[in-house]
Amino acid sequence: IKKETLLKRSIRLAVIAAILGFLVVGIFTFIINRDFWKANVYREKLEKEKAYSDSLLKSREQLIATVSHDLRTPLNTISGYTNIIEENDHGTVNKKHIDQIKSATTYVNNLVNDLLDFSQLEAGKMVVKKSTFKVNDLISETANSIAAQYTAKDIDLILHLDESLEHPIVSDAFRLRQIITNLLGNAYKFTDKGSITLTGNIIEKQKIKYLFLKISDTGIGISKEKQKLIFKEFTQAENDTDKKYGGYGLGLTITKKLTELLGGTISLDSNINKGSTFTLKIPIVYGEKSSVETKIALKPDRLKIIVFDDDASFLKLIGEMLKSAGIEVLLFTDFNAFQPDSDFKFNMILTDIEMPTVSGYDIVDQLKSGTFKHYENQPILAMTGRRDLTVDHFIEKGFTGLIRK
């Protein structure tokens, strides 16, 4: 009897243990499945959020590119007509108005360019285009060009360029010029009097050559706590800076990103009311000789040019500018109006790229197809407001060269 009682008790305990075991397994299985389900839900949400974020970034990039392109052409039209008026009207009152128009146009045009550059840098789509050039010439030309814009200020521009800069180097000349332009422009903007000093030389560390530049000014300076914010987009050192000195807080951000794109570094040392010093260090290699741009040598009095552009205002402006230079011109808003058997003898073609009916690329293809008897391999220059397309791109497409709008 005792054995039976013990056996029954053991069986009962075993059953209870089994039931508890099943319950524990069931609970853990439920928890694991719930966590797995939650993880899947969270992953799907994250993937959707990432896709949405990527979509927003792409849309922003496309919007900025489209707006930049659509703004640049009318801005250039305004700027062009302003220059024509300035050349033909010498009245003092009108001169002031014209200067204000030019200043406003330049500001908006710079903003458009900076927004486009910032968008490309953020998206990682800006490509380094290396060439061989003399950096001392580039620095001198850029510095003198910037100084000419601030002749009203009592500021001395001092250049200390080492002999090592006379050796041709290989880098992106356009982006390097942009970096120097931004830093010098920034120095002039925040300096009312005194001096701006640009020091440059080539240094070598661990068998790597670096372009070393220092740009110092005697301007308003930046407080230590604000210096860490100076390279952040749409940020200025002080809240009232943009009101007093102008600007939109993108120049130094772009400068830093361009410097890093070239593999370099940029640093800042500044003190309030004493001035600022920006230091650049960019890796370079020596080149054999400077690249020489191909120029088309044609006498203006013999030139006959055909221009294609769907923007009637810009087309008219181009026509007036060419005619004022003594050039005979034929204007078309649509390539379909251009007759294959036309008797108009011409030396060159200028064409916009993005047009609704026939694009600039199509124009090149059709002209070179042999259908147009009066086309005898004359130069075809592309005109575009896009800055992401290089000269090499257009040459590969059959163009002779590029004119930036």
pLDDT score, position 295: 47
pLDDT score, position 245: 56
CA 269 to each of CA 31, 144, 187, 266: distance values in angstroms, whole numbers, following the listed order: 57, 24, 13, 10
How far apart are alpha carbons 202 and 212 in whole angstroms? 6
- When pLDDT is cut at 50, 70 and 90, the band that residue 93 belongs to is low
Q: Contact 145/282 with Cβ under 8 angstroms?
A: no
pLDDT tens, 224-267? Answer: 888 888 888 766 655 555 545 555 678 899 999 999 999 999 99
Phi/psi at 234 (nearest 5 deg)? 55, 30
Q: Is 241 left (phi over 0), alpha (psi -120 to 50) or beta?
A: alpha
pLDDT score, position 294: 44
Q: Contact 254/182 with Cβ under 8 angstroms?
A: yes
User: What burial class does residue 4 get, using C-beta atoms within 10 Å of its C-beta: 0-12 exposed, 13-18 middle, 19+ buried?
Assistant: exposed
Per-residue pLDDT averaged across 217-224, rounded? 91
- Asked if residue 185 has pLDDT above 90, the reply is yes
| Three-class DSSP category at 124 | coil
- When pLDDT is cut at 50, 70 and 90, the band that residue 313 belongs to is confident
- When pLDDT is cut at 50, 70 and 90, the band that residue 37 belongs to is confident
Higher-confidence residue: 298 or 258?
258
Per-residue pLDDT averaged across 197-219, rounded? 95
- Close Cβ partners of 339 (under 8 Å, ≥ 6 residues apart): none
Torsion of CA 246, 247, 249, 250, to 10 degrees: -170
pTM of the model: 0.66
- Asked if residue 399 has pLDDT above 90, the reply is yes
Read off the tokens for 209: 């050559």
Percentage of the chain beyond pLDDT 70 is 87
For each of the domains in the chain, give its residue range(s) and CATH number, in order of start.
2-123 (1.10.287.130), 131-286 (3.30.565.10), 300-404 (3.40.50.2300)
Q: What is the DSSP letter of 390?
A: -
Per-residue pLDDT averaged across 11-22, rounded? 79
How far apart are alpha carbons 324 and 378 in whole angstroms? 22
Residue 379: how many CB atoms within 10 A of its CB?
14
Strands (E), 287-327: 304-308
Q: Which amino acid is at 105?
A: T
On average, the pLDDT of the chain sits at 84
pLDDT score, position 291: 46
Read off the tokens for 152: 């009203």
| Three-class DSSP category at 135 | helix
Read off the tokens for 68: 């930049």
Question: Token match 């998206």: residue?
Answer: 123
Q: Which is nearest to 216 in space by CA: 198, 231, 200?
A: 198
pLDDT score, position 89: 67
How far apart are alpha carbons 374 and 343 in whole angstroms? 7
Per-residue pLDDT averaged across 129-133, rounded? 89
User: What burial class does residue 195 get, using C-beta atoms within 10 Å of its C-beta: 0-12 exposed, 13-18 middle, 19+ buried?
Assistant: middle
